[in-house]
Structure 1
Amino acid sequence: MAAVRHRRARRLVIIGFGPVAARLIDDLRPAVRDRRLQILIIGAESEPAYNRIMIGEVALGRTDPEMLIMSDPAELRSDGVDVRLGTAVIDIDRGRRYVTLGDGDQYAYDQLVFATGAAARAPRLNGLRVQPGGTDPVLPDGVAVLRDLADASRLRSMTGPGRRLVVLGGGVLGMELALTAAEEGAAVFMVHTGRVPMERNLDGIAAGLVARHLRRRQVTVIADAQAADVRLESGRFAALALADGRQVAGDALLLCCGAAPRTTLAERIGLSVDNGIVVDHELRSPTDDAIFAIGDCARIRCADPSCDRCAPYTGPSGLIGPGWAQAEWLARRLMADKPTAPLDAGSGNAPVMIVKAPGLSIVSAGRIDSDPLDALLDDDASTPGVAQWSDPEHGRYAKMITRDGALEGLICVGMPRTAAELTLLYERRAELPGDRSALLRHDGPDHATVADPAGPEVTICRCNGVTAGQIGAAVDEGHDDIAAIGRATRAGTGCGTCKDRICELLNNRAKVVMA
């Protein structure tokens, strides 16, 4: 009788242990338990995966770091996952397929996934020592970036009530942190190069509403300003000098100047890199078919230069939702016995930008530069339609750019319900109702509160794709608070912008039961 031959479990090495890698491992754990797969995950930080989107809350003392943890190394190890924390991969031998760690250990792999994320970018200013590419800066006392828990701890020690915080950068992160720090009692000065904050994501009216909101929250906005020097006293930050000679004094300086994909290792081993590790619609490197990349370190760009699915993706989005979608797809791809349909990288739609800062909600996506006057003066069918509504007195504004009735772009400020509905229509490329004003009623006083009028199929948590019906089912099973629902469905564990909506569903559910 012939001996039975057992197929060896495939060896998968994952470099990076952030939220995207954690999602990939969660979906692969059944294969590890079944001994079809061996996984080694390598994290440079000493902490396991945590929700990076919420580290601003940690930096300003609103949340404990433990609340952000998304993965339990002990549980992973009990399933057979090899977890290495506080170390880094220093070399990869692609020919022999093994990785070398900083402590000298070597591990073989059959397939390898880069999930190295992105690093905070720092400007080249006198007084700062910045590496090529602007990442991993050596910062003096009183100067911080915000990307990981170590950065959060550093910033926490520098800020607090009565302190003067200078924020360099008027983008999403800078605005969110400026508003939160001001609410915590700090005197905040936002310095940015544009005329208004977030001008890349908003049109003039929306950006103006944001600027006014900042002023009303006691954030001093210094616009049209070019930083020149970081002034130090006894080795510690004292002031930010501007190109026009002005100085902005402060106790701390927070650099919110964007992020850059971590690609140093990928470049060193010869992978194709272009504002991220280049991968195709199967998330595979065209340089090496055993290597994949997901999340903020990946740049989806297939071999077809005319591919309209790749066009919106000039680099990593910085958003958690697309990274998690990539992780879930790659898990299916790695374990499939037959070819899997290529990843839907967005069906031609650019990612949605969502901001939720104290007292302010903002959503922006797609094409936002169209002017209503263009449609009025030009009857060309190629000219997009624009519907626009504003209530500056109450800080509310909506803009919808359509082609053939479907959304090409949107801006929504101060109208969270309308924003949620528009986001859903945008992502589904669905046609808007003929009467655009019907969408505005979601934030009106006559909006129903006892039952959810949107229906069980509507997505509440966009990061995880959790619907109102799934949340309702979790409540029926006894999960009666946000934390429990998060554990049961993953809703609310991403960017956090859906938590108010989850609370509303919980309250509505309770009212229905009491009735």
Structure 2
Amino acid sequence: MTSNTRVVVIGAGLAGARLARRLGELGTPALLVGEEEHRPYNRVLLAEVLAGRYAPEVIALPAPAGHRRARVTGIDRAARRLRCADGSLIAYGTLVLATGSNPVLPPLRGLFGPGRRLPEGVHAFRTMDDCLGLSKAVRPGARAVVVGGGLLGVSAARALAVRGAQVVLAQQAERLMERQLDPDASRLVLRHLTDLGVEVHTECRVRDVRCVGGAVRSVELADGYALDTDLVVLACGVRPRTGLAERAGLAVRGGVLVDDELRTSDPHIHAVGDCARHDGTVYGLAGPALEQAEALAALLAGDAGARYTGTRSLTRLTLAGTGHPFDLAAFGEPEARPGDDVVRLADATRGTYRKVVVRDDRLVGGVLVGELGTVGALARAWEGAEPLPSSGPLLHLLTDDGGS
């Protein structure tokens, strides 16, 4: 492929790897450039690697035909070429940014050492190297503090507890996974973690990391209480990785701005996945990233009508394992407004919970914990945004699996 038609994808995460593989299948081979030393992998399953359920190679993704390890440091838009840290240049005809996101590192006193390096025992949880470093450090009886009670923090706390660590989870909000779940579902997540021995503190802010000899020894909470610890895991969310785009002069506003062709402000550059902002939204989830990759692959392979018009994304958390399985799904608006119809089924003994919110005869949100037999039918009804059948009680939404 000559340089004026060559497709180059920066970023070997889920979106970039899927795009490069699909382009190859459609007869438009692409060069995938990633800076991690590991082959592309499914980042969603890192918590299962940490828990010891999967070996790293199990979550590897199918490798595209062209894959090069390099750290891209700059984009020369006029010459249409990339500058790499090793001094090499990579020519492109069409460039795709799939640079993903970086972990948010909270402004804690004592967090950074010389050169802004994290102290020994303090770990972000975003990459395979993060996961392997944390996995090497954890041992039965080790004391660990997880900062953040969102999806990532819950997954990390559970994985560490399964490995035998004494885990404290500190969540600044009033409940766990408050962005995805209603209070009842949050309580079930809390129960699952406490059953595993995790000590959960909500409305709790960590303000200080204390180190001795370059290694963490404790964290201090906002109320002055100190927790002795061997490990700290920072699970405070992610931020789109847009540095390359900004330095290249592309339009960036909380993410690289893209249109329905996933095209940036430069007609020769597209963006997909966690780094992209489409129609005002940065999704930061696997489902939308993969949909964007599929749409862009079709477009770049010659389907002039291919477009990405947005994703109604569903959050799914499956934590397997002998004796302590846990399944959760949430979509749309799990909290009802005045006038909405709400259907709820709860079984405290089995730890299951199902709830849907209906507004103007349309399913607008729901959350399921435990048995997820109906999730397929509910997701289809929600994604379609069609009026629900007028006949039959709303209860059938939670009891009919719809063939899923």
1 or 2 for the larger relative contact order (CA 8 Å, sep ≥6)? 2
Q: Is the 8 A contact 2:50 2:160 kept in 1?
A: no
Q: For 2:336, what is the secondary structure of its paired residue? A: coil
- Residues 38-47 or 107-116, more deviating: 38-47
> Which segments of structure 1 move beyond 3 Å, counting only runs of 4 or more?
6-9, 430-434
Tell me which residue corresponds to 1:248: 227
Structure 1 equivalent of residue 83 of structure 2:
100
Q: Confirm whether residue 129 of structure 1 aligns to residue 112 of structure 2.
A: yes
- The Cα offsets for residues 437-458 of structure 1, whole Å up to 9 and x where unpaired, read as 223335xxxxxxxxxx744xx5
2:123 equivalent to 1:161: no
Question: Secondary structure of 2:68's match?
Answer: strand
Q: Which amino acid aligns with 1:62?
A: R
1:11-30 matched pairs, under 5 angstroms? 11-30=6-25
- Superposed, 1:187-206 pairs within 5 Å as 187-206=166-185
What SS does the aligned partner of 1:423 have?
Answer: helix
Which residue, 328, 331, 336 being the options, matches 1:362?
Answer: 328
TM-score relative to the length of structure 1: 0.73
Distance 1:441 1:31, change over 3 A: closer
Cα deviation digits, residues 258-297 of structure 1 (max 9, x gap): 0111101100111111121110111001x21110000111
Match of 2:259 in 1: 280
Q: What is the alpha-carbon distance in structure 2 between the residues aligned to residue 269 and residue 175 of structure 1?
A: 37
Partner Cα separation in structure 2 for residue 369 and residue 8 of structure 1: 51
Unpaired stretches in structure 2, ≥5 consecutive residues: none
Contact 2:374 2:402 in 1 (8 A): no
Match in the other structure for 1:64: 55
Q: 1:262 aligns with which of 241, 244, 253?
A: 241
Name the CA shift for 1:398/1:454 in 2 (closer, same or farther; >3 Å).
closer
**1:441-493 CA deviation, whole Å, 9 max, x = no partner?**
35xxxxxxxxxx744xx5xxxxxxxxxxxxxxxxxxxxxxxxxxxxxxxxxxx
Shift of 1:435: 1.6
> Equivalent residue for 2:165?
186
In 2, Cα distance between the equivalents of 1:431 and 1:181? Answer: 44
What corresponds to 2:32 in structure 1?
A: 41
Contact 1:354 1:362 in 2 (8 A): yes
1:342 aligned to which of 282, 289, 307 = 307
Q: What is the letter of the counterpart of residue 18 of structure 2?
A: R
Give the C-alpha shift of residue 330 in structure 1: 0.6
Query: What residue is the counterpart of 2:352 in the other structure?
Result: 396
Q: Provide the residue aligned with 1:146 in structure 2.
A: 125
Alignment of 1:211-222 (within 5 A): 211-222=190-201
2:376–2:402 contact (8 Å) kept in structure 1: no
User: Whose helix proportion is higher, 1 or 2?
Assistant: 1
Question: Structure 1 stretches of 5 or more lacking a match?
Answer: 1-5, 302-309, 376-383, 443-452, 459-515
Cα 1:106–1:41 shift into 2, 3 Å: same
Instruction: Determine what percentage of the aligned residue pairs are the same residue.
Output: 36
Q: CA deviation at 1:38?
A: 5.7
Match of 2:398 among 427, 435, 440: 440
Does 2:278 match 1:300? Answer: yes
8 A contact 1:277–1:298 mirrored in 2: yes
Q: Deviations over 1:115-153 (max 9, x none)?
A: 11111111011111299xxxx962110110111111011
Structure 1 residues 438 and 165: CA distance shift in structure 2, 3 A: same
What SS does structure 1 have at the residue aligned with 2:364?
strand
Q: What is the count of residue pairs matched by the alignment?
A: 398
1:289 matched to 2:270? The reply is: no
Match of 1:324 in 2: 290
Contact 1:60–1:159 (CA<8 Å) still a contact in 2? Answer: no
Inter-partner Cα distance in structure 2 for 1:294 and 1:363: 24
Match of 1:54 in 2: 45
Q: Secondary structure at the match of 2:58?
A: helix
In structure 2, the partner of 1:445 is none
